Amino acid sequence: MRSTFEMPDDSRGLSADPASTSQSSRRRPLVVAAVVVLVAAMAAHLLASRAELVQLRRLSPSVLTLAAVLQLVAQLAWNGAMFVPLRLHMKQLSFWELLMVRAGGFLVGVIVPLGGNVAVRLAYLRRRGLAYSHFTWATLLTNSLALLSVAGVSAVAVAALWRMHGRPPGTVLALTAVVLAAGVGAVVFLYLLPRWANHPWLLKRQWATGLADLRATHGVLGGILTLALARHLGNFLTFGVLYNALADEGSVLTGGLVYALTSPMRVVQLVPGNIGLSEWIVAVVGGILSYDLTTGLLVAVVFRGMTLVAQGLGALAGGAWLAFRGE
């Protein structure tokens, strides 16, 4: 399983070895078929629940505007989290330039699974002189601390829910434990990575060269963690606002918890943009928290739409700034 931050093995950049290319070609029809099945199943369920789609009328302009603003804040915070470590090795890189590159990568990632997003960013930054190892370290550092921060958000949300409404379902507690384990495990992996960087398998990889010498100061770690937390809070509130609007008995806290518990699965893209897969996982986890399946699917679809809107607004703002600066 490849994560969204796995690097290419080939030292020439984005090109892969023939065996890898052949394997990717054989897998592509299966990935496309999986997307078609997932989306078709989602469409069939929504068509069978047409009477419940009246819920969408509850999404007033004020709710949609608030969701878009929260998503824009989340996108800017996440861009900042990635910008902090990259800026250490690319002094000439600007915040808005990185935002433009990430927006382009996001769109490609919807089409090309298992690394399309990373490939665009890596190709651009490599041309600007960034070393493979620096990109790898910045990406791993940002994603690991993001997992840790969302683990904290999950724990706090579950504790608040427990205090307000009594003991949550055992499945919710189990999912929270999994998220916490993922967050702690990511940080442990990050701590051990420099020690593993001299392993013969990693020494053969261009992207791993020099990882053993890379470290992050407390200031860098704190900056990334703070911005990652801001990103998760923006997404948490977006989910909460949408569930609160669409569900008959929704609450911002419970709706936001659905995001927190499903956030780790967004680190790995098994199909392009996790289209269909993400929506079903959100719906299932929402069902555990007493939301019906249709509401969960609608929230996930609207959330994806708000993310695209925020990406577009961010790209427009970034493009305008770069044009103003003449870059």
* Lowest-confidence segment of 32-36, 118-122, 189-193, 247-251 by average pLDDT: 118-122
pTM higher than 0.95 for the full model? Answer: no
| 184-207: burial string, b at 16+ Cβ within 10 Å, e else | eebbeebeebeeebeeeeeeebbb
| Residue with the larger pLDDT of the pair 157 and 116 | 157
The percentage of residues in the chain with a pLDDT greater than 90, rounded to a whole number, is: 39
Secondary structure class of 26 (helix, strand, coil): helix
Distance CA 197, CA 218 (A): 21
pLDDT of residue 204: 61
Q: Which residue has the higher pLDDT, 90 or 324?
A: 90
Q: Please provide the average confidence, as pLDDT, over all residues in the chain.
A: 80
Task: Give tens-digit pLDDT for 52-62.
Answer: 778 888 899 99
Q: Taking 80 as the threshold, does the pLDDT of residue 220 lie above it?
A: yes
Which comes out higher in pLDDT, residue 136 or 1?
Answer: 136
- Quote the pLDDT of residue 3: 38
Residue 182: what pLDDT?
92
DSSP 17: -
CB neighbours (10 Å) of residue 255?
27
The terminus-to-terminus CA distance of the chain in angstroms comes to: 38
State the average pLDDT over residues 218-227: 92
